[in-house]
Amino acid sequence: MAVRIGFNSATTFGQSGSFYSSEIIINVAVGPNYISQNSQTLLPLPNWILFVLEPGQSVDVQYSPDSQVTWFSMRQGTSTLMFCDTAGSVRLFGAQGAGTANVRAFAIKQA
């Protein structure tokens, strides 16, 4: 059963009692960047994760239904909410020319 969040509840990300984990910045290099317990140790996986991208960034959020053989895009505008497992079935694909792009991510705690 869902827990009601009162109007005056703490909304500072990562604060004790907050429904959100601390926000982290993921530096996405060109190519595939897998989201797993080994690659993103600061994200509490498995969990619902919100990825927030800067407008105009060349980063795609992708998932694999068949153990990393086929990848499908699921980016919607500048943010995507998805459930991330611990094994790397989700990745951020950097399509920028060079360098890294910053993606903000935080977990939504389940009450």
Condensed to tens digits (0 to 9), the pLDDT of residues 32-89 reads 999 998 898 888 899 999 999 988 788 999 999 998 999 999 877 788 899 998 888 9
| Reported confidence tier of residue 26, pLDDT bands at 50, 70, 90 | very high
Does 106 score more than 80 pLDDT? Answer: yes
pTM: 0.81
Condensed to tens digits (0 to 9), the pLDDT of residues 39-50 reads 988 888 999 999
Indicate the residue type of 96. Q
CA pair distance 95, 97, nearest whole angstrom = 7
Structural domains in the chain, CATH included, are 24-108 (2.60.120)
Convert 46-59 to b/e letters by CB count within 10 Å (16 or more is b). ebebbbebeeebeb
- Which string of DSSP letters, residue by residue, matches the chain? -PPPPPTTS--STTSTT-SB---EEEEEESEEEEEETTT-TTS-SSEEEEEEE-TT--EEEEE-SSTTSS-EE--BTTEEEEEE-SEEEEEEEE-SSSSEEEEEEEEE---
Does 110 score more than 90 pLDDT? Answer: no
Q: In this structure, are residues 33 and 95 in contact, taking their beta carbons and an 8 Å threshold?
A: no
pLDDT of the residue at 27: 94
